[in-house]
Structure 1
Amino acid sequence: MLKLRFDYLVLPLLVLLISSCKDKSASTDSKVETEEELVLRALEIHKKVLTLDTHADTPLRMIEPGFDMAERHDPNETGSKVDYPRMKEGDLDAIFFAAFVAQDIRDDDGNTRAKALCLQMIDSVIASTERNSADVGLALNPDDAYALEKEGKRAIYLGIENGYPIGEDLSNVELYFNKGVRYITLVHSSNNDLADSATDDNGTEHGGISEFGSKVVGEMNRLGIMVDISHGNDSVFYDAIKMSKAPIIASHSNARAVTGHKRNMTDEMLKLMAENGGVVQLTMLADYLREAPPNAVRDSAMTALRNNMKPIGEMTLEERAALRKSFQDLNEKYPAPPATVTHVVDHIDHIVKIAGIDHVGIGCDFDGGGGIEGVFDASEVMNITIELVRRGYSEEEIEKIWGGNLIRVFKEVQAVATKIQANESA
């Protein structure tokens, strides 16, 4: 009886004790993460994954006399958004430097000048990587980014923004490939001989990609150059999807359902991009990220400034500095609401919802207008990762967004090229 009485009294106490321990364990396991802990976790992920930015117009800076990529530049003083020290500060492992040539006269003289300027920028990037070989390396293939990362170096890839420097000579595509170019944006803000722009005031000219442009796409497929449809009108996107034997990319474009800009991509396009196996790289350009209230006076002043400017390639260093100052003055006089990291991840959320986690990436457009509150230059790109972690993205998903998806497409483009060349030689 005594033993039974002892058990009768003790068992409920044991149950209460065990229950209390479980409650404490559960409480510990479900402890709410503080903001500081979240940021530290995000920074660890950011450092661990390959971070790849697919679009910067930095070569325009690199041809300026005296501009040194090895020096840290103050973006507020110089306007520069990328250099090697700031890539290191932001833990940005790899970047595509796009040789950008503004659209000019489409004749032999114009094409010759465009080609010369394009090659000058490409050569400036190559020379810079050679001078700073302890910190960076020229990358030509997908795996080069990972190899350079292991060496503690930044990977520098080459692209071309605007197919204008190809002119009417298809052989130029191979020339640029041999120089290291691994994607070409078919068109920019005005129509060219390859394709129609989304923003040409004269409207469509070719109905999408021209007959010559289709040959360029075919040559890009043969060589292993990614076809970039950013800046093209909607018809260019649909034509590229049909023409290209390899997945395509949008190196710096956003979601039109989130921000109604004609440079952004519709949900139908996003779904087709997923079917194609391609990737859309989010850009940090404010007008593509958030709706701004109409400001006719500001728009008119900006248009007048652009219409009166010389082609950038023909400007002196002083003229470029004066142009930047003019744009800065207009922005200060007619301020627009800022775009933020929240806007960036709103677009990522939408693209993931429509196209899936395997079809979105990052292409900041630094030194080409990109730079927002929180991601003003290359030193701040980790703030994107922090916001992704805050919204519940896993390390695996963040790795895909920051580089894995683009690298996958890059490999598939090369595989298609290998197959085409094998068939040609058979």
Structure 2
Amino acid sequence: MLNDPRSHGLWERTAPPAPATSSLRGNVGADVVIVGGGYTGLSAALHLAERGTSVVLLEATEVGFGGAGRNVGLINAGMWVMPDDFPKELGEHYGERALDLLGNGPYLVRELIEKHGIACELETSGTLHCAVGAEGMTELEERARQWQKRGAAVTMLDAAETERRIGTKAYAGSLLDMRAGTLQPLAYARGLAHAAIKAGATIHTGSAVIATGETNGKKIVKTAQGEVSADWIIVASDAYSTGPWEQVRREQVHLPYFNFATKPLSANLRQTVLPQSEGCWDTKEVLSSFRMDKAGRLVFGSVGALRGTGLAVHKAWARRSLKRLFPQLADVEFEAEWYGRIGMTDNALPRFHRFGHKVIGFSGYNGRGISPGTNFGKVLAQHILGEIAETDLPLPLTEVREPSFRPLKEAYYEAGAQIAHFTGERF
């Protein structure tokens, strides 16, 4: 996108085409205007349009341009926060409700893919959270205990079974989560867009919002060449927010994340690495993730930005890491590279904000956007339709607040990742 092969990499090359859209021109009316063409906005548009609500979605660039089109493609259940910590952070009223929604969230993703025939390389063989050493194993055993007491389909695997499933001796064990899986993230976003348009929603791309207002009781959302009047506004631009709701971006500390994709592996090699196609990530502080796509490419990623000196540093580290994990892949070349940014909140949990009367949004997915974004989009639709009261939402209403020293923290994360990767995997 925008003629930048490092913005969406492999996903842009292999996703089905996006629906035909155009920029907003002139003045139009709708029941709801949605700002942002990622998972939250697209899911909300789809669920509202299916119920006969008139919807206009405005996307500044292209469908899936933000985190929706750049992420690893893991359909995770829950968040980084331990299950028992949800009530501690959100209170008993919201904690278990949010945990239930997010824990079972991947099932809605699967349901929409099946219902609308979305071609997005869905894999339902689960994910493996991989333990690095005894400390990592202790962490995962506690996470498994907390999920299992809630009836979740998670299982601890020992080192031998982990090696059998992944093809490496690097891990002390792993947590298998059968609720989760993988997909092609940009293809999923585009599929949601096709489904929303078919249901009756209107999507305008290249339509950045530059101002808002209110006239005769109607919300007004303005772009460079037009405006939408509506009863409700959904703010779904999240970490890539600009313009009137840039405060949503400023509430989050950006963590850069990159991916490299190998060329398709031969049939023989494919049998030795993730033969069941689970998605994986490890327990390191500067974590690594890896998964397969349908063509047999290994997608390998970690924290860092592929710009400046970071490009060479992170690429060299990725080569060393793959060689350590999978020596048989030492000579396999990378054919794509890309990166984006993850918006991190100060408690690693999403937020629900009311920006004004009938102006609402969820944000802050902390690297877990696929399932939470899809589910929160549906929740917003249900709230607007009067099916869920504000007090019955899965998250409490919170004020937007900018974390202290945000720019310094972002610079630290980018530089720190380079240092960690420059020195890592050398011995």
TM-score category (smaller protein): under 0.3
Greater RCO (Cα-Cα under 8 Å, separation 6 or more)? 2
By percentage of residues, which structure has more strand?
A: 2
- Structure number with bigger Rg: 1
Q: Give TM-score, length-normalised by structure 2.
A: 0.26
* TM-score, with length taken from structure 1: 0.26
